[in-house]
Each structure stands twice: as C-alpha cells, then as structure tokens.
Structure 1
Amino acid sequence: MTTQTDSFDMTAAPIRIDAVRLRVRDIETVAGFYRDVMGLATLSQSADQVTLGAGETPLLHLDGDTALRPRDPRQAGLFHTAFLLPARGDLARWLTHAMEARVPLQGASDHLVSEAIYLADPEGNGIEVYVDRPPSRWHDSTGAIRMSTDPLDVQGLLKEAGGKSWAGFPEAGIIGHVHLQVGDTDKADAFYRDQLGFDIAATYPGASFYGSGGYHHQLAGNVWNSRRAGPRDAGAAGLAEVTLGVSPQARETITSRLGSDRFNDPWGTAFALS
C-alpha cells in the first residue's frame, strides 16, 4: 500500500530545476498562454520581460524580442519544459480544463514512473504536464528505474478530478524536469554525467535521462529531431537558460569542473546555478 510519505523530496536532490528562461517573439501572446492554459501567476512584468510562477515562486521567465528568428525544431535546445503537479487529481483537473478550453494536445503517455500530457506553447516550445507515481513503484526487480511510453488511461485519470475545477497552477507545483534536444547522446552523457554529476537513470534509443538524488530525471537529452546538430543559433527564439538549484557540495563540484556558476552545454544551451 502506498503511504503519504511515498513521494520524492525534490528539495533534497543535489541538483534540481529551479526555473526556465525562454526567448519569445510575441511576449504578450506567450505570457497569456502560460497564464490561461497553464495557470501560472504573473509575478513581475515589463514591456519585454515577464516572470510567471506558482504562488511567489518564479518558474518561468520570458524575454521578448520581435527581431528573433523563429525556433528551428531541428536545432539543439528545448524538447519540453515539464511542469510537475503535486497529485493525480491536479493532473485530472488540468486535463479537464485543457479539454474544455480546446487546447491542442500532442500526446498522453504512461511512463510507469509518471503520467504525462504533452502540448506546445504558441511559439512551439514543448510542454509536459505530469504527475509522478510513488517512488516505490519506479524500480524493477534489480533496483533499476524502469520507464516506458505506454498509452495513458485518460478516462481513469479524469475520474480523479473529484468534481473539482482547475483553480490555477498549485503552489506546490514545480518544474520537475527539462528535456533537451542534443546533437549526440554520448557527448551529452559526457557533459551531464561526467561534468555536472548526474546519474544516467534510464535510456531509450536516442535518449538519456539524467537523475539526481534518486529521481527518474531532472534533465534528459535526445537526438530524435536534432541528431548531429551543431551549435545553436543565438539569434533564434526558444530556450534561453535553465536555472539549476544545487546543494553546496554539488555547486563546489560543478564550479570546480566548469570554472563558473554559469556555463553552456556542448551545443550552447545555457545554464546557471542558484
């Protein structure tokens, strides 16, 4: 039987996702989407910058620039930002909200460790909305994390709404992981495992999932659209930066290896430590 304590404490992980920054061409439209569809609250706003979050916690920063080129889906960069909801009922209520609002959805999957819905914002930045299964159910008989991509039981999920309506992104919601497009998985492993200190928690053909503290993944990298991609186009819209929350020990290790608390991966995707 699952107990109330059978959940993952992300704050205890040596490395986690604190926030994501996107460069967008139409900041008003994109910010409106994250408010109306995702339920994020506006925490600060100016003509060319918007910060959105859950409660008082910033999760998403938008930098607007009409001169940006549209993102190229074949380049290295963002595959999706994954918003983790606290409970299955929250995911059910969000899905009901999205369906009633006729939000275009791109997929729905049961990953064994989690249940997930996929969509994109108005500029094509991928989004996952998901809920974790209890960590006691993540592992196979050998203790390895077991992931898959199976059909989601949508009708079973919707029953979890409990007659309640979506009331905005919960204060306990976070960005659980960021999935990246990379040009080569071996090179990605050498950076995210050997330089940043992640474990390779699981692999798919063409993808690695990087976990910290026993989580199934705070970061992932795949080549499904971006195999052999080179350095990113600095003048294009899309992912600007991922902010990693780190423990003091992880910070010391990363900065000693990379020489700074701000750095890029091999394809120019920017990271900052908080």
Structure 2
Amino acid sequence: MSAPLSPLNDAGLASVRPIGAGVRIGHVHLKVSDLDRSLAFYCGVLGFQLMQRYGTQAAFISAGGYHHHIGLNTWESKGGSPPPRGTTGLYHTAILYPTRAELADALRRLIEAGVPLEGASDHGVSEALYLSDPDRNGVELYWDRPEAEWPRAPDGKLQMVTERLDLQDLLASAQP
C-alpha cells in the first residue's frame, strides 16, 4: 500500500516539473442511462459522427473521423440517475471548436433543438457555452482566442476573467 499524497501549496506546485506540452486528453468516456437518447443529443444535436456501436450498451463518436472523442456506455448506468449535487465526479466535458464561427454554429444547433444553456461566458482566453446533456453531465462548448490576444498582467502572467458572453454577437459570426 502506498503512502497518501500530501497536498501541495502554490510554491510546491510551482516546483514540480510539468509534463510535456504535447500531452493531450484524447477522449472522455461517459456513463449514460439511455444510449439512444445520448446519441440523439451528441450526434443529432451537436453533430458528432457515430464511429462504432456495441449493440445497446456502448457507442463511440467523433468529430472528423477520429476513432472516438467521446465514448458513451450503459455498462454500469442503464436506467440510472445522475449523481446528486454535493458529490465528487466529472464537472464537465469541454469540447474545443477550432473557430468562433463553428462555436456559433453549435449555438445555432442548440437553439434549434431547444437545448437550454446554463451559462455563457467570455473568459478572455476563450468564449464558452455551458449546458447539460440528457443525463445532466456538464458540457462546455468553447473556442480559444489566439494566444497573442489572451489577457495578461504587466508581468506577463495570464489573467483569465469570467464576463457575460454576448450570444447575439456570437450568432452573428456563424457561417450562413
């Protein structure tokens, strides 16, 4: 049995050697209660492509033909309910759009499908839409501004913000 990890303060965290800049989170796998309902949301509303399905228990979906960005399964959750507030778990899955116009298209899709937003923020570094999937898993749809535009303090440190996102202005940037 290994020793428990000790919490690090900011100074301790600053001294830890970071992992490589090329490391990426490859996919997320979500427990869902109804696979077809989840596919209707992720593929039918958001536009992901179904790559492979394992009967009624699991499916793998992607953007652009990748083997999968999101796995959906009912192995331990068929017919289940979301975890109650006040418990630990995944806060949200963040889906990065390459351009502001593509994020605007995602907003248009949500509006057309009647999917309500739970929030919309301008973080200075990014613009983000917040919502829940049919199983109340948190979902963030966002695009990153170019790094040269990120807000910084005089000493060069990043200064993210949380301000109201103008949804009409975002929609105006959608491709016709």
> TM-score normalized by structure 1?
0.53
- Decide which of 53, 62, 68 is 2:62's aligned counterpart: 53
Report SS of the residue matched to 2:92.
strand
2:34–2:79 contact (8 Å) kept in structure 1: no
Report SS of the residue matched to 2:101.
helix
Of Structure 1 and Structure 2, the greater strand share is in 1
Specify the alignment match of 1:16 in structure 2.
Answer: 24
- 2: CA distance, partners of 1:25 / 1:162: 35
Report SS of the residue matched to 1:13.
coil
Moved segments of 4+, more than 4 Å? none
- 2: CA distance, partners of 1:70 / 1:128: 18
Specify the alignment match of 1:250 in structure 2.
Answer: none
Specify the alignment match of 1:111 in structure 2.
Answer: 123
RCO (CA 8 Å, sep 6+): is it higher in 1 or 2? 1
- Decide which of 21, 33, 52 is 1:25's aligned counterpart: 33
Specify the alignment match of 1:232 in structure 2.
Answer: none
Specify the alignment match of 1:158 in structure 2.
Answer: 171
How many residues are treated as equivalent by the alignment?
152
Q: Give structure 1 stretches of 5+ with no counterpart.
A: 1-11, 164-274
- 1:83-232 equivalences under 5 Å are 83-138=95-150, 139-163=152-176
Report SS of the residue matched to 2:95.
strand
Give the direction of change, closer, same or farther, for the CA distance of 1:137–1:24 in structure 2 (3 Å limit): same
Q: CA deviation at 1:13?
A: 2.5
Letter of the 1:48 counterpart: Q
Q: CA deviation at 1:140?
A: 2.6
Per-residue CA distance 1:93-150 (angstroms, 9 max, x = gap):
1112211221111111000000001110011000000011110122332111111110
Q: Give structure 2 stretches of 5+ with no counterpart.
A: 1-19
Q: Cα RMSD over matched residues? A: 1.6
The share of aligned pairs that are identical, in percent, is 40
- 2: CA distance, partners of 1:87 / 1:37: 18
Q: CA deviation at 1:15?
A: 2.4
